[in-house]
Amino acid sequence: MSDDRTFVIIGASQAGGWVAQTLRNEGFEGKVILIGEEPYLPYERPPLSKAALLGEVTVDSTYFWQADALKEADIEVRLNTRVTAIDRDAKEIETDGGERITYDKLAITTGARVRKLPIEGADLPGVFYLRTMEDTLAIREAVKDGTTAMIVGGGWIGLECAATLTKLGCKSIVVEAADRLCGRAVTPEISDWMLNFHTGHDVDVRLSTGIEKFEGDGKLERAVLPGGDSIDCSIAVVGIGVIPNVELAQDAGLDIDNGIVVDERACTSDPVIVAAGDVTNHPNDLLGRRIRLESYENAQNQGITAGKAMLGTAEPYSEIPWFWSDQFDANLQMIGLPQDWDETATRGDVAANEFVTFYLKDGVIDGAISVNNPRDLRVGKRLMQGKKPVSAAELEDPETKMQALLKR
């Protein structure tokens, strides 16, 4: 039986790609059009600050699906195409080329864009952001051994970038406005660990510091700090957060609140429109609140949910948030978004960069962060999921077999 419906997806990255694949995996036989502004097939962003910036992987190897696989799945991919408007009454979208495409169902997976640094000189050549493959290729091009790199923002992107540029032979300086690293995401103890770790790898970290302006004659030459001190540098990478791309949805009258508001099945306030990935504000049953995540796993799994929702077969999506980051030889992983824990338990050896810290609330795990210990973190995730009672003392005890805690 043929299906004459057309499902359109705006944003051809991780979430959008998974929506498209899911439609086919679930047997949808209508037309699937995946529209993206970037010149590349959907690719993984995590390598952009890691292996791709190091030059260890090719652009092709970051694609989620190679061109022939997308073709075989009969997914019509339109790259270099920006959607400029959604007309919900006519069920049409309009592209920057002036084309109008009618949809039966629509998915919005427009992700997020970088927040710009609002200072003088931020538009000088040599000042970069890091969100797209083009950004990574441009930074690689600009990096020479011995380059001094000014990294603005001590969050995940800034710290990964500092680590990778250091590995490439740069002198990395990180300036962070807050008094600790990664303050929005991790606890003060982990911030302290990060500071020691990066300092120990020759990264120059300056907390409670901002950049007043960038200066240079036609290109970046120095960063001026408040008070007038200046630091010579030939590149800068700004990582001060992202803004969800909600404008299309907003102009079309969908509910917005720090992201496109969706329900647990990725449905927006319009019954024929779903949304997934970095752009959504969604309910999380396990945490008991609404969240907007910027994570690989969420883009994938909420994308899969959104694809199923377009076919009416979605189960509610609610998972413990999970995130990872690679910095030098440390693999950090985090579960949950711990807020007001009453106890912490650290297992392993912090000084040896191999440990996991659990955050406990009312005797159950509310979140955890691990450094070079993904396995204990995964057991912790199951303990958290099952709301299993555990004590800080037993988690800290090296004699405790983590897996045994699951079996009780």
Residue 241's Cβ-side half-sphere holds a number of Cα atoms within 13 Å equal to 11
DSSP reduced 3-state for 366: strand
Which residue's CB is nearer to other proteins, number 73 or number 124? 73
Q: Closest distance between ligand FAD and the C-beta of residue 95, in Å?
A: 8
Does residue 321 bind ligand FAD (CB under 6 A)?
Answer: no
Closest Cα partner for 176 from 138, 206, 217, 215?
A: 206
DSSP letters of 195-217? HHHHHHTT-EEETT----EEE-S
Does residue 63 bind other proteins (CB under 8 A)?
Answer: no
On whether the CB atoms of residues 43 and 15 are closer than 8 A, the answer is no
Q: Closest distance between other proteins and the C-beta of residue 62, in Å?
A: 10
Which residue's CB is nearer to ligand FAD, number 13 or number 373? 13
Does residue 186 bind ligand FAD (CB under 6 A)?
Answer: no
From 40, 63, 324, 341, residue interacting with other proteins (rule: CB under 8 A) = 324
Residue 153 in tokens: 């923002």
Pick from other proteins, ligand FAD, none: which does 375 bind, CB < 5 to 8 A by kind?
other proteins
- DSSP classification of residue 60: G
296-310 and 14-25 helices, crossing angle to 10°: 40
Q: Closest distance between ligand FAD and the C-beta of residue 171, in Å?
A: 21
On whether the CB atoms of residues 158 and 165 are closer than 8 A, the answer is no
Does residue 333 bind ligand FAD (CB under 6 A)?
Answer: no
From 374, 385, 387, 389, residue interacting with other proteins (rule: CB under 8 A) = 374
Which residue's CB is nearer to ligand FAD, number 41 or number 402? 41
From 24, 82, 361, 388, residue interacting with ligand FAD (rule: CB under 6 A) = 82
CA angle at 62 for the pair 56 and 66, rounded to the nearest 5°: 135
Which residue's CB is nearer to other proteins, number 240 or number 379? 379
Strand order in the sheet with 213-215: 213-215, 222-224, 230-232
Closest Cα partner for 384 from 330, 355, 352, 341?
A: 341
Residue 48 in tokens: 């952009």
Question: What is the C-alpha to C-alpha distance for residues 236 and 150, in angstroms, rounded to an integer?
Answer: 4
On whether the CB atoms of residues 284 and 292 are closer than 8 A, the answer is no
Question: What is the C-alpha to C-alpha distance for residues 286 and 168, in angstroms, rounded to an integer?
Answer: 41
Pick from ligand FAD, other proteins, none: which does 277 bind, CB < 5 to 8 A by kind?
ligand FAD
Which residue's CB is nearer to other proteins, number 81 or number 370? 370
Site for ligand FAD in 121-140 (CB under 6 A): 130-131
Residue 200 in tokens: 């120990």
**Window 282-321: contact mask with other proteins (x via CB under 8 A):** --------------xx--x---x-----------------
Does residue 209 bind other proteins (CB under 8 A)?
Answer: no
Q: Closest distance between ligand FAD and the C-beta of residue 19, in Å?
A: 9
Q: Closest distance between ligand FAD and the C-beta of residue 212, in Å?
A: 26
43 DSSP β-pair partners: 63
323 DSSP β-pair partners: 334
Q: Which residue has the tokens 């978004």?
A: 337
Pick from other proteins, ligand FAD, none: which does 109 bind, CB < 5 to 8 A by kind?
ligand FAD
Residues that bind ligand FAD (CB under 6 A): 10-16, 35-38, 45-46, 48-49, 82-83, 109-112, 130-131, 157, 245, 248, 277-279, 294-297, 299, 323-325
Residues that bind other proteins (CB under 8 A): 18, 64, 296-297, 300, 304, 322, 324, 331, 374-375, 378-379, 382, 403
